[in-house]
Amino acid sequence: MTDDKGTKDPLEIKKKILADPNTAKIAATLGQDLQEYVEGVLHFVMNPDEKPELVVVTDEVAKERFGLTLPKEAEILAKFNAEYEMATIADKTDFTDPKAKPLAISTPEKPSTEQKVDSKLQEELKKSMRGKGGGV
């Protein structure tokens, strides 16, 4: 949130924050005064290296103040396990026998790198290229 010249003008930044229609909604959701919220945002814009403070609340406060219903430990573990299974699904297939040893795959012989040159065709190509400015 700097202007085109790269300078930080707190008043201009504050105007931009207030002009955003989501600013008031966020402040209301957090149960915070709009001006107090804007000052907090401005503080972090002006001090980008500063880290925000972590505030831990109980499940009851989260539900009462923010309308959040926090998942129970069993739900978190079930979700984690499901996500982990999806992330590693490519590692296992129905065709994999866990006791089987890997099969050795033979590679075909390498094709010959020798190229046969058709002298007539090469001469025609040279003539063709000379006529078109190829200069060979």
**pLDDT (0 to 100) of residue 5:** 46
For residue 46, tell me if it sits in a domain: yes
What secondary structure, in 3-state letters, does 21-46 show? Answer: HHHHHHHHHCCCCHHHHHHHHHHHHH
Minimal CA–CA distance to 61: which of 72, 70, 52? Answer: 70
Domain that residue 18 falls in: 10-54
For residue 40, tell me if it sits in a domain: yes
Token pair for 39: 């000052």
For residue 42, tell me if it sits in a domain: yes
Residues of the chain under the 70 pLDDT cut: 1-7, 92-98, 111-114, 132-136
For residue 91, tell me if it sits in a domain: no
**pLDDT (0 to 100) of residue 4:** 47
Whole-prediction pTM? 0.40
**pLDDT (0 to 100) of residue 39:** 94
Token pair for 18: 């207030």
For residue 88, tell me if it sits in a domain: no
Question: Looking at the 3D structure of the chain, how many domains does it have?
Answer: 1
